Amino acid sequence: MQFIDVTTDFAFKKVFGSQQSKDILISFLNALLDFGDHPIVNLTIVDPYQAPLVASLKNTFVDIKAYLDNGTQVIIEMQVLNQSGFDKRVLSNVAKAYSTQLEKGDKYSELNPAIGLTFTDFVMFSQQELKSQVITDFIFLERHHKVPYPEEMRLVFVELPKFEKTLRQLKGMADKWIYFVKNVGHLKSIPKTLANDKEINQALSIANTATLTPEELEVQQKKLRWLSDQKTNLARAEKAERENAKAQKATQEALDKALKAEAEKQAALDKTKAVEVEKQAALDKAEVAEAEKQAVLEKAESEKQAALEKAEAEKQAVLEKAEAEKQAVLEKAETQVAFEKQAALEKAKNAEKAAKLQIAKQLLQANADIAFIRQVTGLKKMEITKLKE
């Protein structure tokens, strides 16, 4: 037993859009669209499948269109190739189906909802939140508070690559129908898991290659070859696009690297310039410090010289005075007794010592060196040191 691959638009429409597919399509849509407490009980298939002539085969965007008993339109499509702009095309088809219901003079209140049910043999939504979600159901929501707009238009996607359940893992009709669409072309017999469902059995009967005409088999084979060619072309285009993107990335990286190197070079030059400026500032500061140091040394030397000259003059005056006093005492002592002479001599010595101490004290106040003071006064170091106390 062999079955056709229903991922081709031809086989998909034959199974779900034929004259005898009404019950199949009702079960299929109730399982995948989740109408809650109001399941589909009746529908009308628009432009049902008719065995086409091979020569008249053409590619159609919409595979199946049906009207539900409440007036809702359902557009069903099987898309194998991930073509550019496909997401916009789906939205355009549903919007067109919704907007073209009215004729001149009709009221907007007469518009009925439109639903787009799209099967894709590729991943459309790779966002983290939808990474493992097989069925995605979109409606209009208020941007900030997520309040839904009346469900006049609805987009439902079934991404076959995300469905990885085995026959034993199937739960519910949605799983069974998705498994059917994805795997029926590879089945060699009817699995027990699917055999208990009347509508799926009917779909398997329609998909059985034994029931197809030679013309239909040829159409299916042409479709499969065409899809294979298109996948190859897309793969080549994607590869070329990846290689081009890789080359552009490499070029951009090289450019970024060159710009970074230039920026680093400029930064290094700026840093070198800044270091040179700092170095010059340091040199200027050192020169100023040296000039200030020289000025301080010169001032200190000048003050020292002035102090020495002042001390020398005072010393000379004290010595002259002492000498005069000494001479007077000696002259007076000559007329006195020897005892008075001796007393006068002692007094002269004491006066001389006092003068030296006075000189030493003045020199100390002038910050003269102790060695210099000893040289000038002839006093002992210990005597001079005591004057400091």
Residue 16 · residue 76 · CB < 8 Å: yes
Domain span at residue 79 reads 9-212
Residue 154 within any structural domain of the chain: yes
Residue 41 within any structural domain of the chain: yes
Residue 99 · residue 139 · CB < 8 Å: no
Give the C-alpha distances (Å, rounded to integers) separating 258 from 129, 252, 253, 254, 271: 39, 10, 8, 6, 19
Among 192, 212, 232, identify where a domain stops: 212
Helices 22-33 and 198-207, packing angle to 10 deg: 120
Q: Do 72 and 171 lie in a common domain?
A: yes
Among 195, 212, 229, identify where a domain stops: 212
Per-residue pLDDT tens for 156-191? 999 999 999 999 999 999 999 999 999 999 999 999
pLDDT band at 149 (very low <50, low <70, confident <90, very high): very high
Residue 227 within any structural domain of the chain: no
- Asked if residue 58 has pLDDT above 60, the reply is no
Give the C-alpha distances (Å, rounded to integers) separating 303 from 130, 141, 300, 308, 309: 93, 95, 5, 9, 10
Residue 3 within any structural domain of the chain: no
Q: Do 54 and 192 lie in a common domain?
A: yes
Q: Record the pTM.
A: 0.60
Q: What's the number of domains the chain is made of?
A: 2
How many Å separate Cα 230 from the centre of its chain? Answer: 38
Q: Do 203 and 339 lie in a common domain?
A: no
Residue 280 within any structural domain of the chain: no
Tell me the three state secondary structure of residue 3. Answer: strand
Choice between 251 and 283, residue whose per-residue pLDDT is larger:
283
Q: Do 192 and 323 lie in a common domain?
A: no
Residue 249 within any structural domain of the chain: no
Residue 264 within any structural domain of the chain: no
